[in-house]
Amino acid sequence: QKEVEQNSGPLSVPEGAIASLNCTYSDRGSQSFFWYRQYSGKSPELIMSIYSNGDKEDGRFTAQLNKASQYVSLLIRDSQPSDSATYLCAVNGGGDEKLTFGTGTRLTIIP
């Protein structure tokens, strides 16, 4: 059973600070990793994809992947109230087209 684990939160971060979200996965053969943002009552929106070890930056977002330790993280710099949402980590094992999702971390940015 492939598993993706996230701390459910809530994680509260002051406006302007760095929010750090973490995710661990059980399948060592996993190849592709994704972060989705989901506002309350809305559907998940893809915000970051990462495929190789290291950091990938896109604006205020940085995804970090460490395959040896089987974790992936998302950093949000200069956090804004509009970043308040649930963040889902998703992993593709490489053997098929499916993604395994974590249950999400609820992030609240405090003005």
Partner 1 sequence: DVKVTQSSRYLVKRTGEKVFLECVQDMDHENMFWYRQDPGLGLRLIYFSYDVKMKEKGDIPEGYSVSREKKERFSLILESASTNQTSMYLCASSFLTGTYEQYFGPGTRLTVT
- Smallest separation (angstroms) from partner 1 to the CB of 94: 9
Per-residue binding letters, 26-55, with partner 1 (x by CB under 8 A): -----xx-x-x-----xxxxx--x-x----
Residues contacting 42, CB < 8 A, separation 6+: none
Tell me whether residue 10 or residue 16 sits nearer to partner 1 (CB atom).
10
Q: Is 105 in the site for partner 1 (CB under 8 A)?
A: no
Interior angle at CA 73, CA 101 and CA 18, nearest 5: 125
Location of structure tokens 């395994």: 100
Instruction: Give the footprint of partner 1 on this chain (CB under 8 A).
Output: 31-32, 34, 36, 42-46, 49, 51, 88, 90, 92, 97-99, 101-104
